Amino acid sequence: MSDTTARALALLNLLQTHRHWAGPDLAERLGVSQRTVRRDVERLRYLGYRIESTPGLAGGYRLEPGGVVPPLLLTDDEAVAMGAGLRLAATQHLTDGTDTTIRALAKLERVLPAALRERVNALAAAVRPAGIRPGAGVSPAVLTELALACRDHERVRFTHPSRSGPSARRVEPHHLTPSERHWYLLCWDLDRDGWRTFRIDRITDVRRTGVFFEPRPLSHRQIEEFVAVAASWTEQAVEATATIRMPIERLRHLFGVWAQGAEPAGADATVWPVGGADFRETMYALSWIPAGVAYTTDLPDPVRSELREVLERMVRALETPEDAR
């Protein structure tokens, strides 16, 4: 392989790993001049790769989807089979496999023409591997856009439903993870200043911001815990909040992943969602608030009255002298 060919392939690999590259950065990575980078870009264009270039200080190069599959030694059918296989493989619980599969899928779908992407989606939807239970459908466009944002460490905006209606979110996306029936996005919520986990089938209107960030450190165990908490949540028969006299930073430190959904209520108080199938599960949740910390709750009736009656009987039982018992 000639130096020119090897350099062109190295350039193509760089263009596939980031959404946008500045000309000087590419030249530095490849150890060549910017003029050589421009010549190599032209060679790739000649081979069928659509590479967009923008002039100026903030300019650079960006790999765009083409009208045909670029020469990857793949036929259309092979590209469709590969894309569908990657889509299905990403739903499996593989050790360190999901992130790798998502990155490969994002790379491939960036260069597939629209007609082949539709074939990939249709094939992946029709084939379901054993052990994966059906869940809510996820938009391939949303999944791919979020995968690219995770890879490039780019902030995004999207819309997500809340109790009060559609909610606009600004987040730093970190990880996409499948869990049983659903896909989840683990991200840092910029407006709420904390980690949040969103079901991807509920996300709409994903928009790029062009603002990049330095990823916050997270261990694999933390990622698994965040997603496990999110996956265990279902709509509860009893839903309420507890306003705890504790700064949100302290609550996050004490509650860990179970602090998801908590929001500050001033400098020294935090609103924490609680709930359960009945008042007993709500009582169990409230019992985790540390001793000596004051709090109030908006638990509605008749659940509030049921909980009060049970607690009053408990207190009477504890206050009864031992000889009387």
Q: Higher model confidence: residue 290 or residue 261?
A: 290
Poorest-pLDDT segment among 56-70, 158-172, 280-294: 56-70
Q: Is residue 98 included in any domain, yes or no?
A: yes
CATH number at residue 216: 2.30.30
pLDDT reported for residue 123: 57
Q: Evaluate whether residue 133 is within a structural domain.
A: no
In a domain, 220, yes or no: yes
- Check whether residue 146 and residue 223 sit in a common domain: yes
d(CA 75, CA 77): 5
Query: Which residue did the predictor score with more confidence, 127 or 312?
Result: 312
Average pLDDT over residues 109-135: 62
Tokens of 272: 């924490």
pLDDT at 127 over 80: no
pLDDT, tens digit (0-9, with 9 covering 90-100), for 26-61? 888 889 998 898 899 898 888 878 888 888 766 788
Ranking 104-113, 193-202, 208-217, 243-252 by mean pLDDT, the lowest is 104-113
pLDDT of residue 229: 72
* 62 three-class SS: strand
In this structure, is residue 280 part of a structural domain? Answer: yes
Q: Do 113 and 164 have their domain in common?
A: no
d(CA 166, CA 191): 15
Residue 132 lies in a domain: no
Looking at 204, 227, 250, the residue that finishes a domain is 227
Q: Which domain, by its residues, includes 157?
A: 140-227
Encoded tokens for 20: 């946008």
**Which of 201, 227, 253 lies at the terminal end of a domain, its last residue?**
227
Q: Say what the pLDDT of residue 233 is.
A: 61
- Rounded distance between C-alpha atoms, residue 222 and residue 321, angstroms: 47
Kindly state whether residues 211 and 146 are assigned to the same domain: yes
For residues 150 and 104, state if they share a domain. Answer: no
| 196 pLDDT above the threshold of 80 | yes
- Tens of pLDDT along 264-283? 888 899 988 887 777 788 88
Please indicate, yes or no, whether residues 245 and 222 belong to a single structural domain of this protein. Answer: no
What pLDDT was estimated at residue 180?
61
Give me the pLDDT at residue 324, please: 59
The rounded mean pLDDT for the chain is: 78
Structural domains counted in the chain: 4
220-242, pLDDT tens digit by residue? Answer: 888 777 777 776 665 566 678 88
Token code pair at residue 14 = 């760089």
Residues 49 and 83 in one domain: no
Is residue 101 in a domain? yes
- Same domain membership, residue 52 and residue 28: yes
pLDDT at 137 over 70: no
Domain membership of residue 263 (yes or no) is yes
User: For residue 42, what is the domain's CATH number?
Assistant: 1.10.10.10
| Percent of the chain at pLDDT exceeding 90 | 10
The residue from 37, 64, 91 where one domain ends is 64
Can you list the alpha helix ranges (DSSP code H) found in 90-198?
A: 98-111, 114-126, 140-152
Tell me whether residue 134 is in a domain.
no
Task: Kindly tell me if the per-residue pLDDT of 117 is higher than 70.
Answer: yes
How many of the other CB atoms lie within 10 Å of CB of 322? 5
